[in-house]
Structure 1
């Protein structure tokens, strides 16, 4: 039996307002062919199917076009909701998709059995605990007036209890089957990129790998976009996103994981690289240096390369600002699309309105970063850590 683990598709994603649907189309074409050619039996998608809770019509179409291709293959599909997904949106066609052997678990259910999916083929039997992103209400009861530290500790304890109960449900009902656990969360020790939205209060409630108790035969994680092995001994893996979703991921080798099962045990976990169709590039240095590097760039890929430009100059001047704007607006290299740009002056007189460097797009700044910068400017402010914790709780309540 072969099981394919992927996650974090983020259908509908835009990189600094640049649509990445073409990138995903190439990935979807490739994965459909791979499933067919390699006789994949089960496809696991561990959360963040969509980039927004309320996807656009174009995102819906891309999603259903893919499912239409997948149902023609002899492959069981199990997908879960992530922190970017709306459980109700994913679950809306759940019963219809079930007729096509597609199991959708958009949000956690009170009955654990509803999140366990069995599959058997050629004498090999597996059971998948398809656990979606767990919200605060799924793992603890909030109490009025509780402190931030208490809330963090309760979240950690709630997650530990939750997964312990999931493992107990497996032992009591499916102990004769190979056990695969899907999850969408932050495990401490994993490497983040700038495109993951903070979950469970700034990831401070991230769990230790030991929370899974060494019970599952494979843990198929989503949420972190950089592919990585959290525990080789216990087979805890992030497969990562299939395409780069931020410039911090430009060096990542994107992949899928293929779990090979034989004689009712996992023989090996194969890492399969995903073909790359677009480069993300950073041009950084003085204005003259960046101009030269832009004009001489010649690497050709299927899709136009996306670039961020970061210019560093010593002293602020109108001439440099004008030259920088001219560079961005009149960039003539047809192999490059500039989607992000910043102009940084080393000798800049800063005031209350200069919380960020010149050229910073507000879309690049998280609410938490903006709040922290404001506190830095108000140097006389006391109890800043308490203020930061209170602001994090507000962001979590607003799902920002």
Structure 2
């Protein structure tokens, strides 16, 4: 059986204020084409289908078109809910979907598989929707569910108990933060606090393959436990990570092989670091002019209207960061001392500039302007 493992579509998520719906729709259409090309039997979507519990109306057609395209390409589809999804909204129409599209959002279905046959017999797909301990512990009062690790461990105990009776090959889908993940800070709005909600890899013992979601970058935790990541780049921290999905093939004995299928990147993400004038004019940055750009300028002082000026060269500049190459030590005490020592308004203004501009005081032209303003103010006060 050929299985395509994808996750974290985040339909409706914006990128620094820009809609991603069109870009995501185009990438997911390629995913459907890959399903047809590789004769995929089952597509697994391991959570975070939507980016919000209350997605906008424009998000639903993207999901509908994609599910229809995957089905038309010849695959059955199994979808589980993630921490960003509303399980109720995602699951309410599950019974209305066409045959072969399965949406798993009800915690009480954990341990009951969706069984799909191939020429070797049945493969049991166990979907585990995102399980928030506070919201599901009343369903299993004897399980003492305090953490994400507890809920996954309990869900997997139900899976293993069912599988012991059924026998055969099996695949599990879950949406969590598993131990051993190399996560880039800021890539995902974390569901964990400290290490309380990290799920040990041992929790997933048993099934032939575990398709995980939640981490946005491709990860292999073991030959049988993997993250596929998101189909789009949703932050600059993800910019160097490939986008795609895992093509998993299982044989008659349940042994799996994996192949990575790349997805196109509609617009590259780059982070540029240089002095501001170089960002505006240096030819070495020409290749970034069509990309999403995060510009980090290293000048000692902040620039005036940096975003507007940078977008004249980089129309898709989405973030600007002032990152001085040299940080000068300063604190409130020394600033207070400079203010106290200032004998004139001009000296006071210069002390302020030194404080807010990383140690750089007034330039010669700024000093002249300050003296001119102070003199005009003094003259006005004298006439009053």
**Is 1:294–1:333's contact at 8 Å kept on the other side of the alignment?**
no
One of 119, 122, 125 as aligned partner of 1:122: 119
The whole-number CA distance in structure 1 between the counterparts of 2:47 and 2:257 is 23
**Is 2:131–2:151's contact at 8 Å kept on the other side of the alignment?**
no
1:51-62 matched pairs, under 5 angstroms: 51-62=51-62
Deviation of 1:246 (Å): 0.7
The whole-number CA distance in structure 2 between the counterparts of 1:203 and 1:25 is 35
Specify the SS of the correspondent of 1:308.
strand
Deviations 1:35-83 (A, max 9, x none): 1121110000000001111111111121112223233232111000000
One of 198, 215, 230 as aligned partner of 1:206: 198
Q: 1:278/1:136 Cα in 2 relative to 1: closer, same or farther (>3 Å)? A: same
1:362 corresponds to: none
What stretches of structure 1 of length at least 5 have no aligned partner? 143-150, 352-400
What stretches of structure 2 of length at least 5 have no aligned partner? 333-384
Deviation of 1:121 (Å): 2.2
TM-score under structure 2 length normalisation: 0.78
The whole-number CA distance in structure 1 between the counterparts of 2:288 and 2:279 is 16
Verify: 1:271 aligned to 2:260, yes or no: yes
The whole-number CA distance in structure 2 between the counterparts of 1:165 and 1:70 is 30
One of 193, 218, 242 as aligned partner of 1:227: 218
**Is 1:181–1:218's contact at 8 Å kept on the other side of the alignment?**
yes
Q: 1:269/1:296 Cα in 2 relative to 1: closer, same or farther (>3 Å)? A: closer
Deviation of 1:34 (Å): 1.0
2:295 corresponds to: 309
One of 137, 141, 164 as aligned partner of 1:171: 164
1:247 corresponds to: 236
Q: Which is greater in Rg? A: 2
One of 246, 253, 261 as aligned partner of 1:257: 246
Q: 1:136/1:152 Cα in 2 relative to 1: closer, same or farther (>3 Å)? A: closer
Verify: 1:181 aligned to 2:172, yes or no: yes
Verify: 1:321 aligned to 2:284, yes or no: no
Deviations 1:256-284 (A, max 9, x none): 11111233423411111222231101111
**Is 1:81–1:107's contact at 8 Å kept on the other side of the alignment?**
no
Residue-pair matches, total: 325
Deviation larger for 291-300 or 188-197: 291-300
TM-score under structure 1 length normalisation: 0.75
Deviation of 1:13 (Å): 1.2
Deviation of 1:160 (Å): 2.3
**Is 1:312–1:344's contact at 8 Å kept on the other side of the alignment?**
yes
